[in-house]
Structure 1
Amino acid sequence: MTNVTSLMTANPACCNADTPLRDVARMMIDYDCGQIPVVDDKGAPLGVVTDRDIATRIVAEGRDTFSATARDAMSAPAQTVREDSSLKDAVCLMEASKIRRIPVVDASGKLTGIVSIADIALAGKEAATAEVVKEVSEPRH
Protein backbone atom coordinates (compact mmCIF):
# COMPACT_ATOMS: atom_id res chain seq x y z
CA MET A 1 0.00 0.00 0.00
CA THR A 2 1.27 3.46 -0.90
CA ASN A 3 2.41 5.67 1.95
CA VAL A 4 1.63 9.42 1.93
CA THR A 5 5.32 10.32 2.04
CA SER A 6 5.80 8.80 -1.41
CA LEU A 7 3.32 11.29 -2.92
CA MET A 8 3.53 14.37 -0.74
CA THR A 9 5.14 17.66 -1.54
CA ALA A 10 7.85 17.86 1.12
CA ASN A 11 8.70 21.00 3.08
CA PRO A 12 5.76 23.09 1.87
CA ALA A 13 5.65 26.84 2.24
CA CYS A 14 3.96 27.79 5.50
CA CYS A 15 3.27 30.85 7.62
CA ASN A 16 2.34 31.78 11.18
CA ALA A 17 -1.01 33.15 12.33
CA ASP A 18 0.26 36.75 12.31
CA THR A 19 1.57 36.65 8.73
CA PRO A 20 -0.11 39.41 6.70
CA LEU A 21 -2.70 37.89 4.39
CA ARG A 22 -1.19 39.68 1.40
CA ASP A 23 2.05 37.78 2.10
CA VAL A 24 0.11 34.50 2.28
CA ALA A 25 -1.49 35.24 -1.10
CA ARG A 26 1.94 36.11 -2.54
CA MET A 27 3.26 32.75 -1.26
CA MET A 28 0.45 31.01 -3.16
CA ILE A 29 1.62 32.73 -6.35
CA ASP A 30 5.32 32.14 -5.70
CA TYR A 31 4.85 28.45 -4.86
CA ASP A 32 2.01 27.81 -7.33
CA CYS A 33 -0.31 26.39 -4.68
CA GLY A 34 -3.79 27.01 -3.34
CA GLN A 35 -3.17 26.31 0.34
CA ILE A 36 -0.67 27.58 2.90
CA PRO A 37 -0.50 25.81 6.27
CA VAL A 38 -0.47 28.04 9.34
CA VAL A 39 1.95 26.66 11.93
CA ASP A 40 2.83 27.43 15.54
CA ASP A 41 6.35 28.21 16.78
CA LYS A 42 7.19 24.47 16.85
CA GLY A 43 6.05 23.92 13.26
CA ALA A 44 2.79 22.15 14.12
CA PRO A 45 -0.20 23.02 11.91
CA LEU A 46 -2.83 25.23 13.55
CA GLY A 47 -4.93 25.64 10.43
CA VAL A 48 -4.68 26.32 6.72
CA VAL A 49 -5.40 29.28 4.46
CA THR A 50 -6.76 28.43 1.03
CA ASP A 51 -7.36 30.75 -1.88
CA ARG A 52 -11.08 30.13 -1.29
CA ASP A 53 -10.73 31.13 2.39
CA ILE A 54 -9.29 34.48 1.29
CA ALA A 55 -12.08 35.01 -1.24
CA THR A 56 -14.97 34.04 1.05
CA ARG A 57 -13.82 35.18 4.49
CA ILE A 58 -12.03 38.39 3.59
CA VAL A 59 -12.80 39.72 0.10
CA ALA A 60 -16.50 38.75 -0.11
CA GLU A 61 -17.14 40.13 3.38
CA GLY A 62 -15.51 43.44 2.44
CA ARG A 63 -12.84 43.14 5.14
CA ASP A 64 -9.64 45.15 4.99
CA THR A 65 -7.17 43.07 3.00
CA PHE A 66 -4.27 45.29 4.08
CA SER A 67 -4.65 44.59 7.80
CA ALA A 68 -5.90 40.98 7.60
CA THR A 69 -3.64 38.17 8.77
CA ALA A 70 -3.56 34.43 8.20
CA ARG A 71 -5.49 34.02 11.47
CA ASP A 72 -8.39 36.04 10.01
CA ALA A 73 -8.82 33.76 7.00
CA MET A 74 -7.63 30.33 8.13
CA SER A 75 -9.71 27.20 8.49
CA ALA A 76 -8.94 25.61 11.84
CA PRO A 77 -8.12 23.22 13.23
CA ALA A 78 -6.04 21.71 10.46
CA GLN A 79 -6.95 18.19 9.39
CA THR A 80 -3.67 16.26 9.16
CA VAL A 81 -2.28 12.80 8.52
CA ARG A 82 0.95 11.37 9.87
CA GLU A 83 3.87 10.41 7.67
CA ASP A 84 3.21 6.72 8.33
CA SER A 85 -0.40 6.99 7.06
CA SER A 86 -1.45 5.06 4.00
CA LEU A 87 -2.73 6.80 0.91
CA LYS A 88 -6.08 5.16 1.60
CA ASP A 89 -6.23 6.78 5.06
CA ALA A 90 -5.42 10.18 3.56
CA VAL A 91 -8.04 9.79 0.83
CA CYS A 92 -10.67 8.74 3.39
CA LEU A 93 -9.95 11.81 5.53
CA MET A 94 -10.00 14.09 2.49
CA GLU A 95 -13.36 12.65 1.47
CA ALA A 96 -14.87 12.86 4.95
CA SER A 97 -13.62 16.41 5.51
CA LYS A 98 -14.34 17.52 1.92
CA ILE A 99 -10.84 18.90 1.45
CA ARG A 100 -8.56 18.80 -1.58
CA ARG A 101 -5.23 18.99 0.27
CA ILE A 102 -4.06 17.58 3.57
CA PRO A 103 -0.98 18.51 5.62
CA VAL A 104 1.36 15.67 6.61
CA VAL A 105 3.02 15.72 10.03
CA ASP A 106 5.79 13.70 11.68
CA ALA A 107 5.41 11.77 14.95
CA SER A 108 5.93 14.97 16.97
CA GLY A 109 3.19 16.81 15.01
CA LYS A 110 5.54 19.02 12.95
CA LEU A 111 4.54 19.81 9.36
CA THR A 112 6.63 17.85 6.85
CA GLY A 113 4.52 17.89 3.69
CA ILE A 114 1.18 18.18 1.92
CA VAL A 115 -0.72 15.65 -0.17
CA SER A 116 -3.15 17.04 -2.73
CA ILE A 117 -5.59 15.59 -5.21
CA ALA A 118 -3.10 16.64 -7.89
CA ASP A 119 -0.35 14.58 -6.19
CA ILE A 120 -2.62 11.55 -6.20
CA ALA A 121 -3.55 12.08 -9.85
CA LEU A 122 0.05 12.61 -10.97
CA ALA A 123 1.03 9.37 -9.22
CA GLY A 124 -1.36 7.54 -11.54
CA LYS A 125 -3.90 6.67 -8.85
CA GLU A 126 -6.92 7.19 -11.09
CA ALA A 127 -9.46 5.35 -8.90
CA ALA A 128 -8.39 7.19 -5.75
CA THR A 129 -8.39 10.52 -7.59
CA ALA A 130 -11.85 9.96 -9.02
CA GLU A 131 -13.25 8.93 -5.63
CA VAL A 132 -11.83 11.87 -3.68
CA VAL A 133 -12.88 14.38 -6.37
CA LYS A 134 -16.41 12.94 -6.33
CA GLU A 135 -16.71 13.05 -2.54
CA VAL A 136 -15.08 16.47 -2.10
CA SER A 137 -17.30 17.95 -4.81
CA GLU A 138 -20.56 16.71 -3.29
CA PRO A 139 -22.43 19.60 -1.65
CA ARG A 140 -22.63 19.52 2.14
CA HIS A 141 -26.10 18.95 3.47
Structure 2
Amino acid sequence: MANVTSVMTGNPACCTADTPLRDVARMMVDNDCGEIPVVDDKGQPVGVVTDRDITVRIVAEARDTMSATAGDAMTKPAKTVREDSSLKDATELMESAKIRRIPVVDAGGKLTGIVSVADIALAGKDVQTAQVVKQVSEPGRRKH
Protein backbone atom coordinates (compact mmCIF):
# COMPACT_ATOMS: atom_id res chain seq x y z
CA MET A 1 0.00 0.00 0.00
CA ALA A 2 1.21 3.52 -0.81
CA ASN A 3 2.31 5.90 1.89
CA VAL A 4 1.07 9.42 2.52
CA THR A 5 3.91 11.07 0.61
CA SER A 6 2.46 9.65 -2.61
CA VAL A 7 -0.68 11.80 -2.29
CA MET A 8 0.19 14.65 0.10
CA THR A 9 0.54 18.29 -0.80
CA GLY A 10 4.14 19.10 0.01
CA ASN A 11 5.40 22.27 1.64
CA PRO A 12 1.96 23.53 2.74
CA ALA A 13 1.32 27.09 3.83
CA CYS A 14 1.72 27.37 7.59
CA CYS A 15 1.80 29.99 10.31
CA THR A 16 2.79 30.49 13.94
CA ALA A 17 0.46 30.94 16.92
CA ASP A 18 1.02 34.71 16.86
CA THR A 19 0.18 35.14 13.15
CA PRO A 20 -2.75 37.55 12.83
CA LEU A 21 -5.92 35.60 12.04
CA ARG A 22 -6.69 37.81 9.05
CA ASP A 23 -3.34 36.69 7.56
CA VAL A 24 -4.28 33.06 8.18
CA ALA A 25 -7.60 33.61 6.39
CA ARG A 26 -5.73 35.25 3.50
CA MET A 27 -3.43 32.19 3.30
CA MET A 28 -6.53 30.02 2.96
CA VAL A 29 -7.78 32.15 0.07
CA ASP A 30 -4.38 32.36 -1.63
CA ASN A 31 -3.76 28.61 -1.30
CA ASP A 32 -7.36 27.50 -1.93
CA CYS A 33 -7.45 25.47 1.27
CA GLY A 34 -9.49 25.21 4.46
CA GLU A 35 -6.74 24.43 6.96
CA ILE A 36 -3.45 26.06 7.88
CA PRO A 37 -1.06 24.17 10.19
CA VAL A 38 0.32 26.19 13.12
CA VAL A 39 4.00 25.43 13.77
CA ASP A 40 6.48 26.24 16.52
CA ASP A 41 9.95 27.73 16.00
CA LYS A 42 11.27 24.27 14.99
CA GLY A 43 8.62 23.86 12.28
CA GLN A 44 6.71 21.25 14.27
CA PRO A 45 2.89 21.41 14.17
CA VAL A 46 1.33 22.51 17.46
CA GLY A 47 -2.18 22.96 16.09
CA VAL A 48 -4.24 23.74 13.02
CA VAL A 49 -6.60 26.55 12.07
CA THR A 50 -9.56 25.59 9.90
CA ASP A 51 -12.10 27.85 8.30
CA ARG A 52 -14.59 26.34 10.76
CA ASP A 53 -12.32 27.19 13.72
CA ILE A 54 -12.39 30.85 12.64
CA THR A 55 -16.18 30.79 12.33
CA VAL A 56 -16.91 28.96 15.59
CA ARG A 57 -14.20 30.28 17.91
CA ILE A 58 -13.90 33.86 16.73
CA VAL A 59 -16.83 35.10 14.61
CA ALA A 60 -19.65 33.27 16.42
CA GLU A 61 -18.24 34.33 19.78
CA ALA A 62 -18.18 37.99 18.60
CA ARG A 63 -14.44 38.23 19.30
CA ASP A 64 -12.37 40.96 17.72
CA THR A 65 -11.33 39.51 14.37
CA MET A 66 -8.77 42.26 13.82
CA SER A 67 -6.75 41.45 16.95
CA ALA A 68 -7.25 37.66 16.96
CA THR A 69 -4.30 35.38 16.23
CA ALA A 70 -3.94 31.84 14.95
CA GLY A 71 -3.40 30.77 18.56
CA ASP A 72 -6.82 32.14 19.51
CA ALA A 73 -8.62 30.02 16.92
CA MET A 74 -6.50 26.90 16.52
CA THR A 75 -7.42 23.35 17.37
CA LYS A 76 -4.67 21.78 19.43
CA PRO A 77 -2.77 19.61 19.63
CA ALA A 78 -2.41 18.86 15.93
CA LYS A 79 -3.06 15.27 14.93
CA THR A 80 -0.30 14.27 12.52
CA VAL A 81 1.00 11.33 10.53
CA ARG A 82 4.62 10.63 9.64
CA GLU A 83 5.87 10.55 6.07
CA ASP A 84 6.30 6.79 6.28
CA SER A 85 2.67 6.26 7.37
CA SER A 86 0.48 4.22 5.05
CA LEU A 87 -2.65 5.65 3.47
CA LYS A 88 -4.53 3.13 5.60
CA ASP A 89 -3.05 4.64 8.78
CA ALA A 90 -3.98 8.13 7.59
CA THR A 91 -7.54 7.13 6.72
CA GLU A 92 -7.98 5.35 10.05
CA LEU A 93 -6.89 8.51 11.89
CA MET A 94 -9.25 10.62 9.77
CA GLU A 95 -12.10 8.25 10.60
CA SER A 96 -11.43 8.05 14.33
CA ALA A 97 -10.81 11.78 14.77
CA LYS A 98 -13.50 12.81 12.24
CA ILE A 99 -11.12 15.15 10.44
CA ARG A 100 -10.66 15.80 6.74
CA ARG A 101 -7.02 16.86 6.68
CA ILE A 102 -3.86 15.73 8.47
CA PRO A 103 -0.45 17.43 8.61
CA VAL A 104 2.43 15.15 7.60
CA VAL A 105 5.71 15.32 9.52
CA ASP A 106 9.19 13.91 9.03
CA ALA A 107 10.97 11.65 11.54
CA GLY A 108 11.98 14.75 13.52
CA GLY A 109 8.40 16.03 13.75
CA LYS A 110 8.84 18.88 11.23
CA LEU A 111 5.92 19.72 8.93
CA THR A 112 6.51 18.47 5.38
CA GLY A 113 3.02 18.17 3.91
CA ILE A 114 -0.68 17.77 4.38
CA VAL A 115 -3.05 15.00 3.29
CA SER A 116 -6.76 15.50 2.71
CA VAL A 117 -9.67 13.23 1.97
CA ALA A 118 -9.67 14.81 -1.51
CA ASP A 119 -6.02 13.78 -2.01
CA ILE A 120 -6.92 10.19 -1.20
CA ALA A 121 -9.97 10.36 -3.48
CA LEU A 122 -7.86 11.62 -6.36
CA ALA A 123 -5.47 8.72 -5.80
CA GLY A 124 -8.27 6.44 -6.92
CA LYS A 125 -9.01 4.63 -3.67
CA ASP A 126 -12.75 4.50 -4.35
CA VAL A 127 -13.87 2.00 -1.70
CA GLN A 128 -11.44 3.35 0.88
CA THR A 129 -12.46 6.93 0.13
CA ALA A 130 -16.14 6.17 0.40
CA GLN A 131 -15.57 4.64 3.83
CA VAL A 132 -13.48 7.62 5.02
CA VAL A 133 -15.99 10.16 3.75
CA LYS A 134 -18.81 8.22 5.43
CA GLN A 135 -16.98 8.02 8.77
CA VAL A 136 -15.72 11.63 8.71
CA SER A 137 -19.09 13.01 7.70
CA GLU A 138 -21.19 11.27 10.35
CA PRO A 139 -22.28 13.73 13.03
CA GLY A 140 -20.40 13.45 16.29
CA ARG A 141 -22.27 12.58 19.42
CA ARG A 142 -22.77 15.49 21.75
CA LYS A 143 -21.87 15.02 25.37
CA HIS A 144 -24.47 16.49 27.68
Q: Shared fold (TM-score greater than 0.5)? A: yes
Q: CA offset at residue 83 of structure 1? A: 0.3
Q: 2:117: which partner in 1? A: 117
How far apart, CA to CA, are the structure 1 residues paired with 2:127 and 2:101? 17
Q: CA offset at residue 127 of structure 1? A: 1.3
Amino acid at match of 2:50: T
Alignment of 1:36-75 (within 5 A): 36-75=36-75
Q: 2:136: which partner in 1? A: 136
Q: CA offset at residue 140 of structure 1? A: 1.3
SS of residue paired to 1:46: strand
Q: CA offset at residue 20 of structure 1? A: 0.2
SS of residue paired to 2:63: coil
Unaligned runs of 5+ in 2: none
RMSD: 0.5
1:25-62 deviation digits (Å, cap 9, x = unpaired): 00000000000000000000000000000011100110
Q: 2:97: which partner in 1? A: 97
SS of residue paired to 1:93: helix
Amino acid at match of 1:98: K
Instruction: Please list every run of at least 4 consecutive aligned residues from structure 1 whose deviation after the TM superposition is greater than 4 angstroms.
Output: none
Q: 1:85: which partner in 2? A: 85
TM-score (norm 1): 0.99
Would you say how many aligned residue pairs link Structure 1 and Structure 2? 141
Q: CA offset at residue 18 of structure 1? A: 0.1
SS of residue paired to 2:22: helix
Percent identical residues: 79
How far apart, CA to CA, are the structure 2 residues paired with 1:101 and 1:73? 17
SS of residue paired to 1:96: helix
TM-score (norm 2): 0.97
How far apart, CA to CA, are the structure 1 residues paired with 2:70 and 2:88? 30
